[in-house]
């Protein structure tokens, strides 16, 4: 949203929708993001405390919180031996048995 406002306020860019389109395209997105940027900006203009929030990192939990699964994973990693890599976890989680969960 800040990039949109900076572009809109700069010299030579007076078209609201066109600025939003440019910012959306620069993010690799399309008209949906362009509309959302304009909506977020209008909401912010009406109430300066109304800022869009990022949902990144707000998940409720992970599959590893399942104690049975965590135990199985620990046993699998212990069976590998002394030198365990992250790829070992990826490979174990990619098995058909784990995908079925």
- How many CA atoms lie less than 13 Å away from 65 in the CB half-sphere? 4
Name the DSSP letter for residue 32: H
CA distance 84 to 94: 16
Structural contact between residues 19 and 13, judged by C-beta atoms closer than 8 angstroms: yes
For the record, the structure tokens of 6 come out as: 């900076």
Q: What is the pLDDT of residue 38?
A: 94
Residue extents of the structural domains in the chain: 2-46, 63-99
pLDDT tens-digit profile, the chain (101 residues): 888 988 888 876 678 999 999 999 999 999 999 999 999 999 999 998 888 777 766 666 677 678 888 899 999 999 998 899 999 999 998 999 888 87
């Amino acid at each position: 949203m800040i990039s949109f406002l900076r572009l809109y306020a700069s010299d030579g860019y007076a078209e609201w929708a066109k600025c939003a389109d440019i910012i959306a395209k620069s993010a690799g997105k399309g008209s949906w993001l362009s509309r959302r940027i304009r909506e977020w900006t209008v909401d912010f203009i009406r109430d300066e405390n109304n800022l869009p929030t990022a949902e990144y990192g707000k998940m409720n939990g992970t599959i590893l919180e399942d104690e049975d699964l965590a135990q199985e994973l620990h046993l699998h990693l212990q069976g590998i031996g002394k030198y365990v890599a992250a790829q070992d976890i990826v490979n174990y989680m990619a098995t058909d048995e784990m995908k079925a969960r």
